[in-house]
Structure 1
Amino acid sequence: MTESILIKIAALNDLDGIIKLQTANQISHGGTLSGQLTADQIQEMMTDMPQIIAVVNNEIAGFLLTTSQSVNNKRKVPIVDAMSASYSGSEDSYIYGPICVSQNQRGKGLAQLMFKELLRLEPNREGILFIKSDNEASLKAHEKMGMHKVSSFRFNDANFDIFTYLFP
């Protein structure tokens, strides 16, 4: 059976699916996400920048969330503040992430497809992200997408690498 894959900008009616996937991929559930955003925070992000989702067979199988520096500066997210203290980026930069793909859809290129859509929508802007230094799969995936390490930081007894990209 061929899977139906749709990459699109998330709408409000996608919020529950994003939250469900985010919850399933928290460290406490065996995942690798380093933080958890509330529905209100994601909704605010939706009004600010494109939030990209991958829908496979009518189910949200991936998300790529983004936050402008102006929205980020309105809230205090300690891990993001630690990243920004180590590398702040250009004036028009934005925060890339979190990105998440459901366990049964990993390795099928969904992360790259969502990233490609983000670049189409936000060309010529620097994206900044952090990855836990021991998350080999994520580090390799992001390097494969053309991102490069610019710094690192320590937060809550864990090491993180900061990556950036700027594509036309």
Structure 2
Amino acid sequence: MHLPPIIRKALPADIPGILSLQKANQQSQGGKLSAELPAERLAEMLSDTTQIVACRGEQVVGFLLTTSQAINRRYPAPVLEKTIEAFGAIEPDTYIYGPVCVSASERGQGLAQRLFQRLLELEPGRQGVLFIRDDNPASLSAHRKMGMASVAQFHFKGGLFHVFAYRAA
């Protein structure tokens, strides 16, 4: 039995590992990630909001990224605009949660929940909002296990999306 991965705030040195895990989990590779964030954007996000990684040694085996509303406005994504519109209760310091990604070798062990718990510890009192495609039952289930509930839905590019929101205690 091996020890669980270390979960911590991401550092600039983690960007290559995040990029590698992100690439391996793109829809084009059979994964569920639909956006591919470039290194420059990840670096900007690291300096702006809390990013969480799970590491096994030097290898990033999971990540949970967040985006501030300011960065989201600089790099508008129509699906995020629909998420915010559908939710309708955005506060000034609300951040956008996601993507969250766990390597295939670590799935089914509660790592996504542990990443989320670490985020909540580092962002007390703040509201987060996210979307999940209806055709991603594993993610819907994982986020419900984290205590989140769908607060709205919307259709976008032929898909049904669920909006989840939460506040760190």
Superposition TM-score, scaled by structure 2 size: 0.94
Q: Distance in 1 between matches of 2:147 and 2:6?
A: 23
- Report if the CA contact (8 A) 1:4-1:57 is conserved: no
Q: How many residues align structurally?
A: 168
> What does residue 132 of structure 1 align with?
133
- Report if the CA contact (8 A) 1:66-1:95 is conserved: yes
- CA-based RMSD of the aligned residues comes to 1.2
1:69 CA drift (Å): 1.2
* 2:67 match: secondary structure: strand
1:4 CA drift (Å): 4.7
What's the CA shift string for 1:85-141, capped at 9, x where partnerless? 212422221100000000110011111111111001101111100001121111111
Q: Distance in 1 between matches of 2:70 and 2:152?
A: 22
Q: Which runs of 4+ in 1 moved over 6 A?
A: none
> What does residue 97 of structure 1 align with?
98
Quick check: 1:151 aligned with 2:140? no
Q: Distance in 2 between matches of 1:3 and 1:128?
A: 31
- Report if the CA contact (8 A) 1:119-1:167 is conserved: yes
Q: Structure 1 stretch 85-94 or stretch 154-163: which is displaced more?
A: 85-94
* 1:20-31 map, 5 Å: 20-31=20-31
* 1:73-92 map, 5 Å: 73-88=73-88, 89-92=90-93
> What does residue 167 of structure 1 align with?
168
Q: Distance in 2 between matches of 1:35 and 1:86?
A: 20
Give % identity.
46
Q: Distance in 2 between matches of 1:79 and 1:40?
A: 21
Q: Distance in 2 between matches of 1:57 and 1:44?
A: 25
- Report if the CA contact (8 A) 2:52-2:119 is conserved: yes
Q: Distance in 1 between matches of 2:82 and 2:76?
A: 11
> Which runs of 5 or more residues in structure 1 are unaligned?
none
Q: Which amino acid aligns with 1:141?
A: A
Q: Distance in 2 between matches of 1:115 and 1:56?
A: 17
Superposition TM-score, scaled by structure 1 size: 0.95
